Structure formats: structure tokens, C-alpha cells
Structure 1
Amino acid sequence: MNATVGAGTLGALLADRHSCRAFRPDPVPTAVLDDIVAQATRAPSWCNTQPWQVAILSGAPLEAFRAELLAAERSRPDEAEFEAGPPRYVGASLQRRREAGWALYSAVGARRGDRAATSTQALENFRFFGAPHVAVLSADAHLGAYGLVDCGSFVSLLLLAAQARGVATIAQAAIVSRPDIVRRHVPLGSDRTLVCGISLGFAVRGHPANAFRTDRAPLEDVRVHIGAPTPTVEDHP
């Protein structure tokens, strides 16, 4: 009984969660933000190394960060320098990225070929979509890929914990494409690798950028069974 209720609750959170791209300016209480992060720290990690650290910017520090990122992107839009990120997208990853991008542009009325409109929407990444809080996530650089994988688990739990508290989120790689600016506003040592930013706040309901949803690949595309069939759910103890 408890397992069934828990599974149903998790399923509802997963179904409702989406990347918010239009936030209200209203701040989230600090105690709620701390509770969300505390729940995310229950994420599993390699040898319990817990490589994640989060710096949450709000108020004046966030506004200064937002302003510098926007100014840099407007003047030098092609100078991204990811500390950790894909060198390029290929195959299914490229196709899915394009489909998600055009779904967003279509939702906000930006037509294919309208570079002004698509650029305006792209700049919203560096405005944090108006969010009142931005969490900058970093990993222990000494742990390499394992630290980044563990931070992925942390991000997933943080997004779900926020969803459970009615707080909207979007995980953003774009903001760490400017590592020099990030490091000027967030105290990070050379032993920390920037992973991503996470904007948090309350969603603007009815905003077209919050109305569309991305799809998911069918199970057959991501799973393969090797070995004998397992019992049905009804037969499982």
C-alpha cells in the first residue's frame, strides 16, 4: 500500500514537472529553498563523496550577475566556453535538441528564420527567465566524470523536491558558458567544476513559454532486457 502511494506521488511529480521559462518576481522563502536543497542532498553519490555544492543568488547580487551575463551575451554571443559540456550534438541528441528548441520558439511566436525573435528568446537564458533565485551548482573537480554523474542525481532530486513544494525550476547549462563571469559572482575555488545553474521561483501561469511540453523517447528506444522475463507486477511480492 505505502509503496503504491509513493509510486503514484512520484509519478505525479514527474508528470507535472517542466522547465519553467517565465517566473514571477516574488521570492521563495529562504526556509523553503533550504529545505529543497536539503532534500536533494539525499541523492546517491560514488562512495558517498557528495561532490555537490550550491550557491544561491538572490536580490542585489543576483541582479548584478544577471546584468553582466546579459551584457556579455549581447556583445559577444559566440564566445561560449563551457568548463564541462558537450563539444557538439550529433544523431538523436541533435534531433531532440532541435525539436525542443523549435517547440519553444513556436510557443512564443518566433518563426523559423526570424533571428531577431529567436535571439530575444535565447537571451532569456541569461536573464534567468526573470527568476528571483538562481542556484549555481559545482562539483569536486578531482572526481572527474563520477562527480558530474553524481551531480546529475542531485539536480534531479532538487527539481522534484522543488516541484513538491510548488516551486518552479529550470536547469540551465547556458549560464555556465560564461565561467569567468560566474566565478566573479560566485566564490568558487579552482578545485570546483561548474556544472549548471538552476533558476527557481513561482511560474507565470498561462505564459506561452510555460505552456509547451517536450516529449520523451519511447521505452523501446532506451531499454533492452537481457535474460529471462521477470514476473508480472501482480506476481511480485
Structure 2
Amino acid sequence: MELAELLRTRYSCRAFRPDPVPDDVIDEVFRLAQATPSWCNTQPWQVHLLSGEATARFGKALGEHVLSGAEEAADLGLPAYTGVHAERRRESGYGLYSALGIAREDRTARAVQMFKNFSFFGAPHTAVVTSDRALGTYGAVDCGAYVGTLMLAARSVGLGVIAQGAVATRSDFVREWLGLGDDRLVVCAVSFGYADGADPVNGFRTSRANLDAVLHRVDS
């Protein structure tokens, strides 16, 4: 699949079939992602890939942690959505709930859908991406580029995939569960597998801003 087609057809998969992805396919996806450029070629990303029973155990423990009411701990901080960013976030959320037939005022159903983040939407595989804390913002930016490449690589071999910032809002728990040191920053998780085409959630697509809203030309 050409890059233009990959970009046009990419979406965040929120329902997966349980079938595991063969190891050779997984290796190819991560091999492609390893070509991601990085600041001074530091390649700061480290990836902990959970599959099968490990995915299930991690999701169960993470969900219980969230339900316990424990405080959030996000290494990269929690975003403050204002202005156009808040508007785009609302549009995306309402569009998702509409695709699922969830009314705006149905807070319970919305919470149930949100909670699916912590079971990785049923994906058989989830990859936790971390950066070296000493590299600060540059390391996190490089990991963001890596995640983008990883998602396109997964799409190129026919997989459904979603990047999950929600998992990174529990950085302390994730680090402890994986046995990571404090020198690792939890950036996000990337869950993947074969998309469940029968689930209406996978028919949802977000909009994109017009080019003139983001591209500022300086000619002189």
C-alpha cells in the first residue's frame, strides 16, 4: 500500500478480534518502525510488547488500579484542552459516541466506552513505549515519531492499531508492573491486532483541519 493510501485509510481501531498476530508479521512491523529518524540518531524508544495471557493480565491489573481511585500519574503531564483544541476534542468524542448510538447525556455508557482503553479494546497485543528520562522533551518527540511510523507499518500489513495516551496517565503503575526503573518515561501504549469489522466503532473517522488552519507560509 502506498504511503498516501496508508495515511488516507488509517484510523484508530477500537475493537479487535482475539486472533493473535503471527510473530513474523509482528517482527516485520517493528523492523519497519525501527527506521524512524531521531534526534542525533539517539533512538530513545524502548518497547515492551505484551501478547496473549500477558496482555490479559496487564489489562486486568490496570483496570483494577483505575477503579481503585488511585491518583493519576502521567510522566508527560496531563493536557489542558482550550480553544480550538477543546473544540476538536469535543467533536471527536461526540462523533465516536454517535457512531455507537450513545447519547451525549448518557455518562454511564460514555464511561464504559472510555474504560475499554484499559483492556486495550480487546487487542491481543499491546506495546508500551518508553523513552529515556534524561533525553527529556526531545526523547518524547522522537518516540512520537516512532509511534506514528509503527502505526503506519501495522496498517501496511493489514492490522488494526491504536495509540493510547490513556495508558500513560498511569505511568507509575505501568512502570512498576513492567519492572521499569525511574529512568524510563512512559510515553504511550500502542495496541494492535486484526480489526473487528463487524463492530460499528470501527466505522468512526475523525475529521482533519484544513491546510490553511495549520500551514503558515513565510515567503519574505
What TM-score results when the alignment is normalised by the length of structure 2? Answer: 0.95
Is residue 2:176 matched to residue 1:210? no
Q: Report whether the alignment pairs 1:70 with 2:63.
A: yes
Aligned residues of 1:162 and 1:169 also touching (Cα < 8 A): yes
Q: Distance in 1 between matches of 2:61 and 2:78?
A: 24
Residue 4 of structure 1 corresponds to none
Of 112, 118, 129, which aligns to 1:126? 118
Give 5+ residue unaligned stretches, structure 2: none
CA distance in structure 2 between the partners assigned to 1:157 and 1:35 by the alignment: 12
Residue 187 of structure 2: aligned partner: 195
User: Which of 143, 152, 155 matches 1:163?
Assistant: 155
Equivalent residues in 2 for 1:76-115 (5 A)?
Answer: 76=69, 79-115=71-107
Pick the aligned partner of 1:57 from 50, 53, 60: 50
Tell which structure's C-alpha radius of gyration is larger: 1
Distance 1:83 1:202 in 2: 30
Alignment partner of 1:34 is 2:39: no
Indicate conservation of the 8 Å contact 1:83/1:179, yes or no: yes
Deviation at 1:212, TM superposition (A): 1.0
Name the aligned partner's letter for residue 58 of structure 2.
F
Residue identity matched to 1:197: A
Counterpart AA for 1:129? F
CA contact (8 A) 1:61 1:185 kept: no
Question: Identity over aligned residues, as a percent?
Answer: 48
Kindly provide the amino acid, as one letter, of the partner of residue 26 in structure 1.
D
Q: Secondary structure at the match of 1:199?
A: strand
Give, in angstroms, the shift of residue 184 of structure 1.
2.9
Whichever residue aligns with residue 63 of structure 2, its letter is L
CA distance in 2, matches of 1:172, 1:219: 26
Runs in 1 of length 4+ with deviation above 3 angstroms? none
Q: In 2, distance between residues paired with 1:208 and 1:70?
A: 24
Q: Which residue of 1 aligns with 2:127?
A: 135
Matches within 5 A, 1:168-183: 168-183=160-175
Q: TM-score, normalised by structure 1?
A: 0.89
Q: Aligned partners of 1:30 and 1:187: how far apart in 2?
A: 24
The question of 1:13 aligning with 2:10 is answered no
CA distance in 2, matches of 1:73, 1:111: 24
SS of the equivalent of 2:2 reads helix
